[in-house]
Structure 1
Amino acid sequence: MRFLAFLLGMLALAPVAPAADAEPHARVEFLNSGKVMPASLPFSEAVRVDDSLYLSGQIGIEPGTMKLVPGGLEAETRQTLDNIRTTLEAHGFAMGDLVKCTVMLADMSGWNSFNAIYRGYFSGGRYPARSALGTSGLALGAQVELECMAVAGAGGPR
Structure 2
Amino acid sequence: MPRTIISTADAPNSPMYSQAVRAGSQVFVSGTVGIDPSTGALAGESIGDQTKPALTNCRTILEAAGASLDDVTEVGILLTDPNDFTGLNEEYARWFPTDPPTRYVAKLGVDLPGLLVSIRMTAYVG
Q: Normalising by structure 1, report the TM-score.
A: 0.73
Distance 1:51 1:128 in 2: 17
Give the 3-state SS of the residue equivalent to 1:58 in structure 2: strand
The answer as to whether partners of 2:74 and 2:103 remain within 8 angstroms in 1 is: yes
1:151 aligns with 2:124: yes
Alignment correspondent of 1:28: 3
State the Cα RMSD in Å: 1.7
Task: Number of aligned residue pairs: give it.
Answer: 126
Distance 2:43 2:95 in 1: 18
Higher deviation after alignment, 87-96 or 57-66: 57-66
Give the unaligned 5+ runs of structure 1: 1-25, 154-158
CA-CA distance at 1:41 after TM superposition: 2.0
Q: Normalising by structure 2, report the TM-score.
A: 0.90
1:131 aligns with 2:104: yes
Correspondences of 1:71-110 after superposition (within 5 Å): 71-110=45-84
**Gap change, CA 1:44 and 1:126, over 3 Å in 2:** same
Distance 2:65 2:59 in 1: 10
The answer as to whether partners of 2:77 and 2:117 remain within 8 angstroms in 1 is: yes
CA-CA distance at 1:42 after TM superposition: 2.1
Alignment correspondent of 2:24: 50
CA-CA distance at 1:130 after TM superposition: 0.8
CA-CA distance at 1:54 after TM superposition: 0.3
Give the unaligned 5+ runs of structure 2: none
Alignment correspondent of 1:116: 90
The answer as to whether partners of 2:80 and 2:115 remain within 8 angstroms in 1 is: yes
CA-CA distance at 1:137 after TM superposition: 3.3
| One-letter identity of the residue aligned with 1:46 | A
Larger Rg: 1
**Gap change, CA 1:57 and 1:65, over 3 Å in 2:** farther
The answer as to whether partners of 1:68 and 1:140 remain within 8 angstroms in 2 is: no
CA-CA distance at 1:65 after TM superposition: 4.6
| One-letter identity of the residue aligned with 1:63 | P
Q: Could you report, residue by residue, the CA deviation over 1:85-123 in whole angstroms, capped at 9, with x for unpaired residues? A: 111112211001110111100111111110111011124
Identity %: 26
Alignment correspondent of 1:20: none
Question: Which structure exhibits the higher relative contact order, with contacts defined as CA atoms closer than 8 Å and separated by 6 or more residues?
Answer: 2
The answer to which structure has the higher strand fraction is 2
Distance 1:58 1:152 in 2: 20
Give the 3-state SS of the residue equivalent to 1:56 in structure 2: strand
